[in-house]
Structure 1
Amino acid sequence: MTGAREPVIRTPDQRIRVFVSSTLRELADERRAVRAAIERMQLAPVMFELGARPHPPRELYRSYLSQSDVFIGIYADSYGWVAPDEQISGLEDEYDLAPREMPKLIYIKKSDHREDRLKELISRIQTDDTAAYLSFATADELVDRVSGDLAILLAERFDESRSGVDGGPDETEPAPLVARVPAPYTTTIGRERDLANVRQLLAEGNDRVVTLVGPGGIGKSRLAIEVAHASEDLFPDGTYFVLLEGVLEPGLLLPTIAYFLGIRDNGEAGLEERICRALEGRRVLIVLDNFEQIVDAAPVLVRLYTVAPLACFLVTSRTVLRIRGEQVYEVETLPPPEGTGQIGLERARRSLAVQLFVDRAQAVKPDFTLTAENATAVAEICRQLEGLPLAIELAAAKIRLLTPEGIAQRLEHSLPLLTASVRDLPDRHRTMRATIDWSISLLPPEQRALLEDLGVFATRFTLEAVEAIGRGRSWDGQGLDALAELVDASLVKQVEIGGRATFSLLAIMRQYAIGRLKERGEADVVRAAHADYYTELVRSVSPRLRGEGQAEAVRRLGLELSNLRAAARHLVYTNRLDDAGDFAWSLLVYWWISGFFSEVRLWMIELLEKQQPITQHTRAVAWFFALWGEMWQRPSDQVVAGLGECVRLFTESGDESAAAMALAARATTRMQFPDLDAEKAEAELTDAVATLHELGDGWAESMAEVGLGLLAVVQGDVQTALAHFTRSAEVADEGHDMFTRIVSGNNRTRVLFTMGEVETAEREWFLTLGLSAQLHYEEGAAYAMEGICAIAATRGEGWRVGALAAVTASMRQRTGLFDVEGFAVHLAPLEAIRASDPESVAAGERAGAEMTVAEAIALALPVIDPAVGEALAQW
């Protein structure tokens, strides 16, 4: 029929559609079981017995397939009926017509009586790389397999959003729910025995802390990375890589560990307590890299492993920690060829140090080979560098410019002189420092000056930041070219993150660079330029933290977190205390969303301890951050009085919005008292809301309204609580603010659910879950999924309930959430359905235990819009 449209057969709710292909009568029981499993997951089964047949069979199932998302094939003994004028059965035709890109899950019933044509079809399917197949014996076993496989495939709902994302490893700094162990940039040579020995120590489990000790440049971090990858099977609950390179204050150890574990420090509970809860009962490995600069914090590890005895810590440090439970493992150099003078080619090849030199030389000059003519020179280079891996790598990088003989000759002349000038260092530290001096001495003056200036950056940095600190420096205007040369010289690493080129220095190179700046008396000048750049960056980004653009602003600041820390440190260190106060206050929303209050508190306490002249506003900011954690963890009359002083100082400095926020915080402190003075707390919160509304500060107004709602909950006034939470949500909507909408919405839906407004609560939880995904706010996502789980329980969806309950339980432990009694609305409905339908719940829990957070969110939401899909693809 010319111009005729193919029949459109859609499911009423437009959910994910699962096309089920099988013979009808032979597998009637299995089809009923699979249909029930699909519906329990709130998906839509697409099956012949569920719809009318106004079209010929082939046209019908072609139409069904065109409207479906997943293909399930169930095969037993029969090949199926072959219609007149057809060559194959409808069973095979359905498989052939399924689009290649459609996920295909094939389930083959165990049988000894299969028809030959079905055997041929199955054989063809088994060679199809677009299909996955499993066997089954009973309908119950089939249901478990289908449910588990579909749960994993739910992530396909947002795969389209991945199409524009680079397929390489994601190196964004997340909200790092999981701190991934870095992938080595180059091959590891000569550490097989060390790798086996350290893995054995971890496997034995007798020592809670294994410390890899050795001088800078010996390869401790590289070995730790390799051990972590090789030991994943020993730690089924996860491996976390915690980079301490930019952490200089011992008090920041706990906040940094919490950050990499995915624990938000919102001040509401002690970080140590939350970390212990997150690690409790979990067999995890936590790698702590570059511990030597905060070695005074080592006793914290004893407290952590005492309450979490299944957790192990793998530490890299230049010094021994000297704590109970520590096993020290000395990382040795790579042995160069023994002796002196001429050396044969085969003997040189057997040396691990020579092997490393050759490998790294070929990375910069692919046609380089070890020959009988240059073997002696390469061996001499490795001897002079005492087998230090980093020193050998720096020397090998010069092979583009010099022959091995030229490198050996220059080292022979330079190293003794250079090591003599640093006699205060241990032997191998002197060799490493001298090698860096020698390597840098070969650079042109502008490149050498740039490298030293880069020492002010933390972890990674952008070209824009480099050019900003270069104004007025000797290399001004040459940043791009000079940086490219440093990358070519293997002194700077380049990595692309989120489509942007970023750069980094090795920790030892950064320490060397900042040391050189200090020797020249220029460190403070460059630190000031660094702080100026990031202060300006914060000034431009921070307004977007309230309202539209919030998610992008949080992501942007997250990429710069290490340098934000460094900038705050520079401002305090160089006594720009008022600038430090403004910097901290302008990022209040970011600290709140991302959970970094402990770090800011340390900087602000240091600021106050300087006892130098500061403005009233700076003093109020510093006191506010210092009191924030006390307000939640140790509420007292002194905290109330301190926040009252913040109100006065903010008011006198002309910042009425900040004064109102401090007033709301004061009321929140009162709410923690066992003898609640509800009248005072309500008066202060009401006053704060009125002021913030008048000032147009919707973000703070919405949060203060949440405070009034929580106060009403404490008093048992559900209707008033609902009114305040609803008003908070309205203010958040007016300002297009995702975070406050999540907070208000999750509180509002709890009330609605307890009042029996199930449909309204469900819609709200869908909304807050989608927003939480976009903001990468795991706490908000956990609360929303618990609510959706509760609703699923009231509807008897046992499998879905079990899956969501398992995922959120894991999220709660991993992020150290404590408020189960007050907020986990799903617990009672969960126990009720567990009693009535234990098998479905148990099957769901098994599937949920294997799900990622992104997969669970996809399971919970009926529709994934593009913004949520993109966020889940990045989760």
Structure 2
Amino acid sequence: MIRTPDQRIRVFVSSTLRELAEEREAVKAAVERLRLAPVMFELGARPHPPRELYRSYLAQSDVFVGIYGASYGWVAPGEEVSGLEDEYNLAPPAMPKLIYVKDGDERDDRLAALIGRIQADDTAAYLHFRSAAELEDQVAADLAMLLAERFDESRTDPAPEAPGQPLVGRVPVPYTTTIGRDADIDAVRTLLARGTDRVVSLIGPGGIGKSRLAIETALACEDLYPDGVYFVLLEGVLEPGLLLPTIAYHLGIRDNGEAALEERIAHALEDRRVLLVLDNFEQIVDAAPVLVRLYTVAPTATFLVTSRIVLRIRGERVYEVPPLPTPRGDLPASLDPATRTPAVALFVDRAKAIDPGFDVTPGNAADLAAICRTLEGLPLAIELAAAKVRILTPAGIAERLGQSLPLLTAAVRDLPERHRTMRATIDWSVSLLPDAQRDLLEDLGVFATRFTLDAVEALGRGRSWDGQAIDGLAALVDGSLVKQYELGGRRVFSLLAIVREYALGRLKEQGEAVRVRRAHADYYCALVRRVAPDLGGPGQADAVARLGLELPNLRAAVRHLVHTDRLDDAGDFAWSLLIYWWISGFFAEVRVWMLELLEKQHDQPITPHTRAIAWFFALWGEMWQRPSEQVVAGLGECVRLFSESGDADAAAMALAARATARVQFSDLDSDKAETELREAVVRLREQGNAWAEAITEVSLGRLAWVRGATDDALAHFDRASAVAQEHGDLFTTSVAGNLRSRLNFQLGHLETAEHEFVRTLLLSVRLHYDEGIAYGLEGVCAVAAAHGEAWRAAALAVAAGEIRRRIGIFDVEAFTVHTPYLDILRGRDPASVEAGEVAGAEFTLAEAVLLALPDHEHDEVAATLHAW
């Protein structure tokens, strides 16, 4: 066993020994500079064979550092690879790997191959270096960054989640201590526990801690809501029409336009004791009556709302969020933590994060009390002041606040009292920044809830802080004005809502808002142009995930384009993401933007192509929910406008949509619908639009099935699957495969159907597609029922039903195949069916999927299901 005296973090250093002796010493120096422990082959005794020795070294190390030069190293007798490559192979997959390659013209072929393999390993960081001195500095910097990131990751991320991520809708866990809110948490929990108030509103000015109180209350109330607690972040949602789509997204409801979103949400909440936390509601307070409609049809659902203003709706109970208590009168802060007021305790806690030795002393007690009283106990204001202990003493902070705050609050007398104090505190905090950092903060106001370094750097071109993004962001993080965290494996940043509001206000005052919004929209338009082509092909899953991470700023970009009268750009932006809206289910949101675009065309002319795009999205939901001759005619107009604009591809897609609208009529003209669908398939194939071709073949298959032409239906589903698979379109492969497997089951091809049900279920798990999982579970249930497996079939049916209910799929399609066989089993073996139904109601999604899959498939989905 290799032990260090203080059990420090161990860094395993891998390289050839003699060739890179100087570089190894440099790495050793870098590791020890950070007070870490280097684990190096030459530092240990060798009573064991080398392979066993470095295996032991690796097993007890925390970080892997690889240094590679020109030599591949010695291959021991009986071994196939050198010790150098074997060490890399033996490093645990989860171990962080920092790889450094020395510049040079010559390199052993086997080493070049190893380096190539390392470059393809996305778990390894890979850099070149020229000298030992350069290497030492690079290793020290990289280790410091790695440790900082790992420390940040160990603190639970409070950020909003991205589409497709398993944590969407879950209550974020604060990454700092909540201080002084125990009584408020108890009071709000008591209101919720009574069950007499449908909406409990936490009301107060920005910065008073409404969101934090809502989060802590939600975490404390999980036992009251057995069917779930959901956190819906409304920051960045500025249009009242987007309330329902945002709630649906956080509930896991995919809006494909086929049913009214309000109905789906109501169905998903029906008879479920759930708590929905709606954070930052003041931006869309005109949408408050929607909550009344929702709790009327779902009386067991409760809403906990944070807002700066009262909603004024029936069923609302208002809780005024108080500031934190401060020392009374002129009393100093208490030296005893047990008697310290919450405001002072918060300041000390946040200051300790910067200076671990910070505490209340006889010398600073009066100043700390004065700071907290001046800031009126506002938690965010106190945190901003505490961040200044990096550069000021408590006396310096108190003096500057005493000089600045009265003047600043006097300048904003049109705001309520505590709003003035919070605004003045931000003003004061920002005034201490250098000009470039102040300008950077103001420019960041155009971003939505989160943003990346790449986006910030793009925004900075030509601005006063151009080239200073990294250092500027670091300073703003230090000042508690910007937050940073990990999301989807990427470093992202965010502003608190009130800081963003402040920054954007300053930008508007200086007449720079339009210019910076234009730069923001340009960056995301360019991003969409890069990512969108992958949506219909092999990169589909990654493209959907990437766009999901950027969703808040995609929304903001569309809004910026519309509000700055770049209406044609807004139309092109929305159209290029059609597949994303379809897969992720955001059609209701896009419809809101496109209707706004159509309203503005009277003042700002648009091209016929943009008009066709806007009408297409506006009619999408109507096509499914309220099909009519007017809808068919409207989509026909889209076909004409696209054609006249020279966009044959879009015209073919609009033609397929018009045919789909015809299919929805009760008095179906199936011949006309089929003719148009077939024509659309031919046109789309000619245009090379494989995604739309495949999904139109699916529509033809559904139509043939309804008409009883099962052979034709199978042929269409086969073609849809073949086209989708050939082009890597996983989503359409799943949709087509699910329908084909159901039809095969109905035709008695049980073995074929079972194989495909399993395959599409695996695809749905990979895509994190709840609806597809429900269909897959029902398919396997049908096969199990046909084989007489009463308990398993019943358990899967109920588990699938729970998923359907949770995501609001109440319109069970006409192609259901599992219920008739289950009804037969219920008559033959009622005890087993009942026992299965009881078990299925308690299943997690992961348990249901594993029950459906053959044992040999479990390993493939284990990691994904664990995260889910």
Paired residue type of 1:699: W
Contact 2:332 2:368 (8 Å CA) reproduced:
no
Gaps of 5+ in 2: 1-152
Residue by residue over 1:745-801, the C-alpha shift from the partner in whole angstroms, topping out at 9 and shown as x without a partner, is 111111111110111111111111111111111111211111011101111223322
Structure-1 residue corresponding to 2:666: 674
Instruction: Write out aligned runs for 1:742-781 (5 A).
Output: 742-781=734-773
1:602 aligns with 2:589: no
Q: Distance in 2 between matches of 1:235 and 1:259?
A: 20
CA distance in 2, matches of 1:484, 1:344: 33
Question: Is the CA contact (8 Å cut-off) linking 1:646 and 1:659 kept in structure 2?
Answer: yes
| Among 164, 167, 172, the residue aligned to 1:175 | 164
Return the offset for 1:358: 1.1
Deviations along 1:55-81, one digit per CA (max 9) or x if unpaired, are xxxxxxxxxxxxxxxxxxxxxxxxxxx
> Paired residue for 2:426?
436
Q: Which residue does 1:36 correspond to in 2?
A: none
How far is the alpha carbon of 1:273 from its aligned partner?
0.4
- Cα distance in 2 for partners of 1:299, 1:343 equals 46
Partner of 2:388: 398
Q: Decide whether the 8 Å contact of 1:348 with 1:375 is kept in 2.
A: no
Residue 227 (structure 1) aligns with? 217
Deviations 1:541-594 (A, max 9, x none): 111100101111111111111111111111111111111111101100000000
Retained in 1: the 8 A contact 2:514–2:564? yes
Q: What per-residue deviation string (whole Å, max 9, x for no partner) do you get for residues 599-628 of structure 1?
A: 001101111110221122111110100000
- Report if aligned partners of 1:176, 1:260 keep a CA contact under 8 Å in 2: no
Q: Distance in 2 between matches of 1:702 and 1:364?
A: 57
In 1, Cα distance between the equivalents of 2:441 and 2:830? 63
Return the offset for 1:486: 1.1
Look up the equivalent residue of 1:307 and give its one-letter code: V
Are residue 833 (structure 1) and residue 833 (structure 2) matched? no
Structure 2 SS opposite 1:241: strand
Counterpart residue number, 2:437:
447
- Return 298-307 or 696-705, whichever deviates more: 696-705
CA distance in 1 between counterparts of 2:582 and 2:666 reads: 26
- Tell me how far 1:742 sits from its aligned partner: 1.1
Q: Which one-letter code corresponds to 1:290 in the other structure?
A: N
Instruction: State whether residues 791 and 836 of structure 2, in contact with CA within 8 Å, keep that contact through their aligned partners in structure 1.
Output: yes
What residue in structure 2 maps to residue 695 of structure 1? 687
Q: What's the TM-score once normalised by structure 2's chain length?
A: 0.80
Corresponding position of 1:572: 562
Choose the corresponding residue for 2:513, options 516, 523, 527: 523
Shift of 1:874: 3.7
What is the CA-CA distance between 1:821 and the residue it aligns to?
5.0
Q: What secondary structure is seen at the aligned counterpart in 2 of 1:456?
A: coil
Asked if 2 retains the 8 angstrom alpha-carbon contact of 1:176 and 1:259, the reply is no
Maintained 8 Å contact 1:349/1:355: no
- Alignment of 1:815 with 2:804, yes or no, is no
Which residues in structure 2 correspond to 1:110-259 (within 5 Å)?
A: 172-175=161-164, 178-259=168-249
Output the CA distance in 2 between the equivalents of 1:594 and 1:217: 33
AA in 2 matched with 1:727:
R
Q: Percent identity?
A: 70
Letter in 1 for 2:857: I
Q: CA deviation at 1:390?
A: 0.7
CA contact (8 A) 2:163 2:584 kept: no
What amino acid maps onto 1:864 in structure 2? E
Q: Which residue of 2 aligns with 1:34?
A: none
**Equivalent residue in structure 2 for 1:802, among 794, 816, 820:** 794
Q: CA deviation at 1:485?
A: 1.2
CA separation in 1, counterparts of 2:197 and 2:524? 42
C-alpha contact (below 8 Å) 1:176/1:262 kept by paired residues: no
SS at match of 1:287: strand
Q: 1:515-541 deviations in whole A, cap 9, x for unaligned?
A: 111111111111111111111111111
- State the partner residue of 1:470: 460
Secondary structure (helix, strand or coil) at the match of 1:820 reads coil
The one-letter code of the counterpart of 2:725 is D
- Counterparts of 1:514 and 1:563 in 2: how far apart (Å)? 15
Asked if 2 retains the 8 angstrom alpha-carbon contact of 1:705 and 1:725, the reply is yes
Distance 2:234 2:333 in 1: 42
CA offset digits 1:130-182 (Å, max 9, x no partner): xxxxxxxxxxxxxxxxxxxxxxxxxxxxxxxxxxxx88868752336751100
Per-residue Cα deviation, 1:658-689 (whole angstroms, up to 9, x for no partner): 11111111111111111111121111111101
Equivalence for 1:639: 631
Structure 1 residues 291, 650: CA separation in 2 closer, same or farther (over 3 Å shift)? same
- Could you tell me which residue of structure 1 aligns to residue 371 of structure 2? 381
Q: 1:361, 1:399 within 8 Å by CA — same for their partners in 2?
A: yes
Q: Matches of 2:480 and 2:331 in 1, distance apart?
A: 29
User: Could you give the per-residue CA deviations for residues 202-248 of structure 1, whole angstroms, max 9, x where no partner exists?
Assistant: 10000000000000000000000000000000000000000000100
- 1:823, distance to aligned residue in structure 2 (A): 3.5
User: How many angstroms does 1:869 deviate by?
Assistant: 4.6
Counterpart secondary structure, 2:169: coil
What amino acid maps onto 2:702 in structure 1?
A: L
Q: CA RMSD in A?
A: 1.7
Deviation at 1:842, TM superposition (A): 3.4
| 1:261-410 pair list within 5 angstroms | 261-340=251-330, 345-346=335-336, 349-410=339-400
Matched, 1:496 2:486: yes
Aligned CA distance change for structure 1 residues 169 and 847 (closer, same or farther; 3 Å): farther
How far apart are the structure 2 equivalents of 1:668 and 1:561? 29
Q: Which residue of 2 aligns with 1:619?
A: 611
Structure 1 residues 769 and 645, CA gap change in structure 2 (3 angstroms): same
CA distance in 2, matches of 1:223, 1:464: 33
Q: Distance in 2 between matches of 1:176 and 1:849?
A: 24
Name the aligned partner's letter for residue 222 of structure 1: R
Measure, in 1, the Cα distance between the counterparts of 2:179 and 2:381: 14
Structure 2 Cα separation of the partners of residues 415 and 542 of structure 1: 49
Counterpart secondary structure, 1:298? helix
Q: Structure 1 CA distance, aligned partners of 2:347 and 2:313? A: 37
**In structure 2, what is the Cα distance between the partners aligned to 1:845 and 1:227?**
34
Deviates more, 1:641-650 or 1:356-365: 356-365
Shift of 1:347: 9.9
What is the match of residue 129 of structure 1? none
Asked if 2 retains the 8 angstrom alpha-carbon contact of 1:746 and 1:783, the reply is yes
CA distance in 2, matches of 1:465, 1:809: 42
Post-superposition shift, 1:717? 2.0
Name the residue aligned to 2:865.
872
SS in 2 for 1:314: strand
1:212 partner SS: strand
C-alpha distance in structure 2 between counterparts of 1:399 and 1:500, whole Å: 30
Match of 1:721 among 708, 713, 729: 713
Partner Cα distance (1:276, 1:398) in 2: 48
What secondary structure, in the 3-state scheme, does the structure 1 residue paired with 2:376 have?
coil
Give the distance between the partners of 1:346 and 1:339, measured in 2 at CA. Answer: 18
In structure 1, give the amino acid aligned to 2:651: A
Q: Distance in 2 between matches of 1:727 and 1:630?
A: 28
Distance 1:343 1:602 in 2: 53
| Distance verdict in 2 for CA 1:618–1:444, change over 3 Å | same
d(CA) in 2 for partners of 1:271 and 1:490?
Answer: 39
Query: Which of 520, 531, 550 is the equivalent residue of 2:540?
Result: 550
How far apart, CA to CA, are the structure 2 residues paired with 1:279 and 1:226? Answer: 23
> Distance between the aligned counterparts of 2:331 and 2:198, measured in 1?
46
